[in-house]
Amino acid sequence: MPANPSNIGEAIAVFMRILGLSKESLKKIILRGEFDEYTDDKHMHCTARLAELFEKYSYEVQKSGENNSSINFLFEEIYVLEEAKGVGLPNFLPRSAFLILLQGKVSGISGIPVKFVDELWNYVETVVVAVLMKHCGSYLQVHSFLRRAGQNMISKMKEKSKDRVMEIVEMEKFTDYTCDPEYLKTWTELMAQKNVFEGAINDPNFIGKIKIEGFGEVEVGHLRKYDSNIREQAFDMKMRITAYWKIVLKRLVDSVALHVLLSLQRLVNNEMEMEFVSELMGAQGGGLEWMLEETPATATKRERLKRRVMLLKDSKEVVAKIMDRVSFEAD
């Protein structure tokens, strides 16, 4: 028969013991990478599985952010520059045009970070619930309560992560800043190809494609119909957005990874106890009484066993009396 706490004091003791053991197990497998408790269960080797999720996320971000601008080279930049132009000095790149292009690129991959944190917390939930169930032993009511509490806790952590990740994405949409010197270095290297680009356009006999580092082979003949000033601005804009995009992709990977790692630390070290005790004491401590209740099936089974035990005791007494009588008559 499943064990069942007989009073509130015993229920609290059972709850705290299970919580303490579970917390220590989660520290080992999630934070320290120790999996001696689950040697043969690879699903519970958390640091390795989390690393695989991070690698997959990084690959998807980098892959989705690959430059495919060899087709219709500079069309998008020219269109945005023409629509963002105003009355003012020539040869100034409008920041609004840069942000429009940036927002379009960020929006195109904005679903990847959200999908990642959703997948990660779903995995963490399976681990947390498995650890709780292991330490629950035969306390079925505690088993049910802790499963629900664990799922509620992970659900809250997941929502917090989604909000934070969306905030990270929004920051990349509406701000264009970096202190990384790699941006200027990359932009300078890309702009060094400008003479080759202009030379091919200005040569009326040139037909075909030119190779531009970072874009592969691109056609430029279709750009001759545009004013040289707008072409130069579009080329400059393309090189700036390309150099900056590399920084954005790295930040999207690093920022989300750092957030998740910090969240896991907080989950095990802080949130777990607070959330579980809050769940336990909810509804004026109703969780404690609920832990003492048995399911109808278990209660019926326990009552049936009690009746059988009583019957066996009565039968034992009857048999003992019969044996005594037989012994007396034999004498």
pLDDT, tens digit only, all 331 positions of the chain: 345 555 677 777 878 888 899 999 999 999 999 989 999 999 999 999 999 999 999 999 999 877 766 678 999 999 999 998 877 777 788 899 999 999 999 999 999 999 999 999 999 999 999 999 999 877 777 777 788 889 999 999 999 999 999 999 999 999 899 999 999 999 999 999 999 999 999 888 888 889 998 888 898 888 989 999 999 999 999 999 999 999 999 999 999 999 999 999 999 998 888 888 887 776 444 556 655 565 555 556 656 656 666 766 767 666 666 666 666 555 5
Task: Say how far apart CA 105 and CA 108 lie, in whole Å.
Answer: 5
The pair of structure tokens assigned to 42 is: 């690879």
* DSSP, res 86: -
In sequence order, the β-bridge partners of residue 132 are none
The pair of structure tokens assigned to 264 is: 């896991």
Task: Say how far apart CA 29 and CA 127 lie, in whole Å.
Answer: 9
pTM: 0.82
